[in-house]
Structure 1
Amino acid sequence: MIKQGDMVRLRPGVYTRIDPAQPPTAEEWIVLRARALAQTTSEPPLFSHLTAAALHGLPVRAPASTKVHITLPPERPGAQSLVVRHRGEVPDDEQVERHGVRFTSLERTMADVARTASFETAVCALDAAFRPVTAPEPGVNDIAAAGELRARVLEITSRSAHGRARALRALAFADGRAQLPGESISRIRLTELGFTRIDLQVPVAGPSGQNYYVDFGLDDARAWGEFDGEKKYRDEAMRSGLSLEDVVLREKQREDWIRGTTQRPFARWKWAHLRSAETLAQRLKSFGIRAR
């Protein structure tokens, strides 16, 4: 991309204006590049893999490349810059079109991402794909719906031996109760540390009869854990009209109540603590928490 002020060239002849104060997210960049390619080709491409994931609104965490992904029939030639081409047949019922952009269906996209992306990238996308089906709100975990969706995706992955073992691992680990990519990566790190009894979105009765939901119940260590993303503090929409100070105070009161009523330690961590299992272990150790 060639940048000139706040104008960014996505492809030859296609530019977009961005706000330097609020640059696009990684997923928004992918969507912009996909739309630019769709505008400049004679035959609309079929976007797939991580590009289709972004078009479905799924998180794309740490992609290996910024190129867009398309799938072509095996016999069709094609070579374009900034494009990753995959060869294969995609049935009509595994394609969707929105606003003039063609891409693979959600189930096909989940299968392709599970087969080809890194474990961490795949789990973040798969957790988000399962969420509206199996866990649309805290406290809900529709195991039957999760099983049905997982079976449909596994049927698609079974058509090819390529990446099948990788897909099975990612799909078995995926859990729609993880509400953010940070929670998805947290589960991976906690598992790497040896925690085996990890519960998600655990309800704890609050002082007025309402439930507080905690990201992680670490039952191995009789402890609580939460990924402390910054968005709930910085995003005014998520603060529901409250000031930053009020949000921080409310979180402290909630945490104090949960710690006091359950008599369990309560650890919080941020993205910096998820760089590796070791960095998260050090963070948990400061709260007296370790896998048993």
Structure 2
Amino acid sequence: MNVSEARSHLLTRAQLERSGLSPRQLSAAVADGTLQRVHRGWYVPDAVWRTAYTEARHLMRVVVTHERQRGTEAVFAFVSAAVLHGLPLLRLRPQRVHLSGARTNGLVASGDRFVARHEVEVPERDRVVIDGIPCTSLSRTVADVVRLAPEPAALAVADAALRLVAWDGKTRTYDAEADAAFRVDVATHLARFPRARGVRQARRVLAFADGRAESPAETLCRLFLRELGFTRLVPQVPVPAPQGGWFWLDLGLEGVPAWFEFDGAGKYTDPAMRGRLDLPQVLLAEKEREDWIRATTRRPLARAGHAHLASAEMLGERLARFQIFPA
């Protein structure tokens, strides 16, 4: 969901009352779950809220908070800037919108449960505007998140940001120079606060980040695999296909060696991802692909899904069933 889509789903109390909803009916709609309140005086239909991902829900709250701004130079920051940049919030459930600025008064009263205000100066060079909403720049946002968020979420944001600046989806090529330049930008932000909380984690995350990861789930798999002792983890490895072109593997476990794939259910259940193929055709094509990869590379291939990502230990148990262990 982008900012325009988020705006289209939001309804104010005044709009609902003009449509014929009385104050009593509005309260009843919130009570029975027909409407979800995202801020004081702002609502969204439950059907939209229920199917929205965490990032979309938070983005709607960011849009509302921006609409309520008056007389402040603060910008959206931390996870609130992350969703404006289209970055994931892996396993995060932010309860408040985050604003940063040397002067953050003028938005809402102190202690507002919807907004967290940070008395942190954001220089002009660290500010951008996305669809009319001011926020921290991409590199500043990543620097904040990799320092302050739990490590899985921090790595997912770093991976996704690197992918934005360095990955070309059409040619499936990765710009190493753009990657390196972005890492320097993030490291420069971190260098301004060498003793700040989380800097050590931030540097570790930035060193391990890889913009070739296609999804937060792949990021989490890579993090867990490292915890398990696997080394030389290479995302998106091409293997020549029998009719020309390439098969792409989510991860090469080069220290073993073996292949690893995150198997999301969407490739089998989502018609948009299946294209013109029905489920049996997708399953057959996937089996033929896997057989070819194993036969031509002489490597084992293991698959894991969301059910195996509760912990590193659970993922390790899954790999052990394929007789894949750290070298």
TM-score computed with the length of structure 1 as normaliser: 0.93
The alignment status of 1:140 with 2:173, answered yes or no, reads yes
SS of the residue 2:86 aligns to? coil
Richer in helix (by share): 2
Q: What secondary structure sits across from 2:210 in the alignment?
A: coil
Distance 1:82 1:208 in 2: 55
Letter in 1 for 2:184: A
What is the alpha-carbon distance in structure 2 between the residues aligned to residue 248 and residue 22 of structure 1?
Answer: 30
Question: Which of 101, 112, 115 lines up with 2:133 in the alignment?
Answer: 101
Computed over aligned residues only, the root mean square deviation of the Cα atoms, in angstroms, reads: 2.0
| Aligned-pair identity (%) | 40
How far residue 70 of structure 1 moved from its aligned partner, in angstroms, is 1.0
SS at 1:238's partner residue?
helix
Alignment of 1:214-233 (within 5 A): 214-233=249-268
Question: Which stretches in structure 1 are left out of the alignment for 5+ residues?
Answer: none
Deviation of 1:75 after TM superposition, in Å, equals 7.7
Instruction: Give a deviation string over 1:141-190, Cα, whole Å, max 9, x none.
Output: 32222111000111011111312212111111110010001100001011
SS in 2 for 1:203: strand
Matched, 1:71 2:100: yes
One-letter amino acid of the counterpart of residue 245, structure 2: Q
**Residue 144 of structure 2 corresponds to residue 116 of structure 1:** no
1:211 aligns with 2:240: no
In structure 2, how many angstroms separate the alpha carbons of the residues matched to 1:82 and 1:61? 21
1:176 counterpart = 2:211: yes
Q: Which amino acid aligns with 1:246?
A: Q
> Could you give the per-residue CA deviations for residues 70-129 of structure 1, whole angstroms, max 9, x where no partner exists?
112168586222222222111122212233322111111111111111111010111011
Residue 153 of structure 1: aligned partner: 186
Partner amino acid, structure 2, of 1:187: R
Tell me how far apart the structure 2 counterparts of residues 3 and 237 of structure 1 sit (CA, whole Å): 35
Q: Alpha-carbon deviation of 1:195?
A: 0.8
Structure index of larger Rg? 2
User: Does the 8 Å contact 1:139/1:203 carry over to 2?
Assistant: no
Structure 1 runs (4+) deviating above 6 angstroms are: none
Q: Give 1:227 deviation, angstroms.
A: 0.7
Q: Spell out, residue by residue over 1:184-216, the C-alpha distance to the aligned partner (whole angstroms, 9 max, x if none).
A: 000101101111121111111110111101011
The alignment of Structure 1 onto Structure 2 pairs a total of residues equal to 291
Range with greater deviation from structure 2 (83-92 or 212-221):
83-92
8 Å contact from structure 1 (residues 69, 86) kept in 2 = yes
In structure 2, stretches of 5+ residues that fail to align are 1-29
1:7 aligns with 2:7: no
Question: 1:20 offset after TM fit, Å?
Answer: 6.1
* Equivalent pair of 2:33/2:46 in contact (CA under 8 Å): no
Residues 1:85 and 2:120 aligned together: no
Cα offset, 1:56, TM superposition: 0.8
Per the TM alignment, residue 40 of structure 1 is displaced from its structure 2 partner at its CA by 2.2
Aligned CA distance change for structure 1 residues 175 and 232 (closer, same or farther; 3 Å): same
